[in-house]
């Protein structure tokens, strides 16, 4: 149920008041791209961004400006609140059990043009900040609406634009599912409707996913990723191609025939992955091959491995039930995709 969950454990208070002077900020562990906010805190817009804080003590405060996004707050793996309304909020969870705790904020919705702002996690005088959460592995996921988990909370094909926004839940994507199984941190760089060279129905020409990849906030051309960014994934999973080929070419697009489009897709995909491999020489690549572009992905993998043996593996994905909004993958489909990626890794 999409509502703020109250009093699951302890007392939840909600206000827009400033953080009390006697509170101490936790050092957050951040999953995903963020940018400094002029008013303080961190801006975030890509799907699946998350923040975690470790502490001991009886209470913790979460301060966040959700913008138009839906967010969840969990403590020790249990969801305590789901935020649906815009605005700056300060939520305090108290009467926690003695000992150490992990507080987490997750972004559920896709923000193609919007953004939210993380202000911080805070503990009072009786609390003690602890070292941030650390995991032994890192995975980057690059993709489209399948990676976003577009409209996954719906069991109907027909959805309005608002329903797609409200029923998208990236936490149910194959990306967090797989990362959780492997005890890995993750980043999701995904944008619904985008492809390698062509977007759904030819929309936004010249702005496929690779053109947006370096942005810190997906709907903003600036700021961009700092070349000194310390993020170094062990594995990069790419799922792009559905939007390149799911709709017929229009007369005013840049490819005369489908064969021209497929040749450009293959060449551009090789160039994109090769550039990522130069930046992340430690990473292995899994390229998702869907029904309409499996041969193309196999050709891309062959070329990449010809230049660097063992760099990439094609992972065939078929048999999806696709019962979410507009025929998108269901939560069960997401788990199945995670199964096949996990099998490819092992």
Per-residue pLDDT of 114-151, as tens digits, reads 899 999 999 999 999 999 989 999 999 999 999 999 99
Residue where a domain terminates, one of 104, 129, 154 = 129
Based on the fold, state whether residues 112 and 229 are members of the same structural domain: no
Mean pLDDT of 240-268: 97
The total number of structural domains in the chain stands at 2
In the chain, what percentage of residues exceed pLDDT 90? 92
User: Could you tell me the CATH number of the domain that includes residue 109?
Assistant: 2.60.120.260
Burial of 278 (0-12, 13-18, 19+ CB in 10 A): exposed
pLDDT value, residue 113: 83
Quick check: is 160 in a domain? Answer: yes
The C-alpha atoms of residue 318 and residue 321 are separated, in whole angstroms, by 9
Residue 158, pLDDT > 80, answer: yes
Regarding whether 160 and 118 lie in a shared domain, the answer is no
pLDDT range class, residue 310, cuts 50, 70, 90: very high
- Confidence at 194, pLDDT banded by 50, 70, 90: very high
Q: Among the residues of the chain, which ranges form H helices? A: 145-148, 161-167, 174-181, 209-212, 242-245, 258-279, 294-307, 331-345
Task: Answer yes or no: is 121 within a domain.
Answer: yes
Tell me: do 210 and 292 sit in the same domain.
yes
- Write the CA distances from 52 to 89, 113, 148, 249, 251, integer angstroms: 17, 25, 21, 44, 49
Tokens describing residue 47: 């799907």
| pLDDT score recorded for residue 346 | 86
Is the confidence at residue 263, as pLDDT, over 90? yes
pLDDT at 309 over 70: yes
Specify the CATH number for the domain of residue 245: 3.40.50.1110
What pLDDT score was predicted for residue 22? 84
First to last CA, the chain: 36
Does 201 share its domain with 115? no
Q: Residues 141, 123: one domain?
A: no
In a domain, 261, yes or no: yes
* Residue 54 in domain: yes
Q: Are 252 and 305 found together in one domain?
A: yes
pLDDT at residue 68 is higher than 60: yes
CB-CB contact of 45 with 217 (8 Å) = yes
Query: Residue 62 pLDDT more than 70?
Result: yes
pLDDT bucket at 305, cuts 50 / 70 / 90: very high
Mean pLDDT is lowest, of 9-13, 39-43, 252-256, for 9-13
Last residue of a domain, which of 67, 98, 129?
129
pTM: predicted TM-score of the whole model, two decimal places: 0.93
Share of the chain above pLDDT 70, in %: 94
Position 12 pLDDT exceeds 60: no
Residue 2, in any domain of the structure: no
**Within 13 Å of residue 200, how many CA atoms lie on the same side as its CB?**
7
Active site residues: 145
Residues 141 and 55 in one domain: no
Q: Tell me the residue ranges of DSSP E strands in 22-108.
A: 24-25, 29-31, 35-36, 42-44, 50-56, 60-65, 71-75, 78-83, 88-93, 100-107
Q: What is the pLDDT of residues 198-239, one digit of tens each?
A: 999 999 999 999 999 999 999 999 999 999 999 999 999 999
Asked whether residue 243 falls in the same domain as residue 146, the answer is: yes
**326: containing domain:** 137-345
- Does residue 1 form part of some domain? no
104 with 158, same domain: the answer is no
At 261 the pLDDT is: 98
Among 333, 332, 331, 334, residue whose Cα is nearest residue 320? 333
DSSP string covering 24-46: EE---EEES--EE-TTSSEEE-S
Query: Which of 108, 129, 150 represents a domain boundary (last residue)?
Result: 129
- Which residues 6+ apart lie within 8 Å of 97 measured at CB? none
- Are 259 and 148 found together in one domain? yes
Counting Cα atoms < 13 Å in the Cβ hemisphere of 300 gives 32
- Give the lowest-confidence range in 15-19, 121-125, 342-346: 15-19
């Amino acid at each position: 149920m999409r509502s703020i969950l109250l009093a699951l454990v302890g007392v939840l208070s909600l206000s827009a008041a400033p953080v009390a002077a006697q509170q101490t900020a936790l050092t957050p562990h951040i999953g995903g791209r963020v940018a400094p906010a002029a008013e303080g805190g961190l801006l975030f817009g890509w799907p699946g961004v998350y923040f975690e804080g470790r502490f001991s003590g009886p209470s913790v405060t979460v301060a966040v400006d959700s913008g138009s996004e839906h967010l969840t707050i969990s403590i020790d793996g249990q969801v305590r609140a789901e935020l649906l309304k815009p605005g700056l909020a300060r939520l305090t969870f108290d009467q926690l059990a003695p000992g150490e705790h992990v507080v987490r904020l997750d972004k559920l919705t896709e923000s193609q043009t919007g953004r939210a702002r993380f202000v911080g996690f805070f503990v009072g005088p009786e609390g003690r900040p602890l070292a941030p959460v650390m995991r032994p592995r890192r995975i980057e996921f690059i993709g489209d609406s399948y990676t976003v988990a577009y409209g996954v909370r719906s069991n109907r094909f027909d959805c309005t634009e608002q329903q797609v926004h409200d029923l998208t839940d990236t936490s149910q994507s194959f990306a967090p599912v797989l990362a959780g199984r492997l005890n890995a941190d993750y980043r999701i760089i995904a944008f619904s409707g985008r492809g390698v060279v062509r977007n759904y129905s030819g929309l936004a020409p010249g702005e496929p996913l690779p053109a947006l990849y370096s942005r810190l906030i997906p709907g903003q051309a600036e700021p961009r990723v700092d070349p000194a960014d310390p993020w170094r994934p062990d594995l990069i999973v790419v799922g792009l191609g559905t939007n390149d080929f799911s709709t017929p070419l229009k007369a005013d697009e840049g490819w005369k025939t489908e064969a021209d489009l497929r040749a450009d897709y293959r060449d551009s995909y090789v160039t994109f992955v090769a550039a990522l491999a130069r930046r992340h020489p430690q990473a292995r690549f899994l390229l998702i091959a869907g029904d309409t572009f499996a041969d193309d992905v196999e050709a891309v993998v062959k070329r990449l491995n010809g230049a660097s043996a063992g760099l990439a593996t094609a992972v065939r994905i078929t048999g999806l039930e696709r019962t979410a909004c507009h025929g998108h993958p269901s939560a069960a489909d997401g788990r199945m995709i995670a199964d096949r990626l996990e099998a490819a890794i092992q």
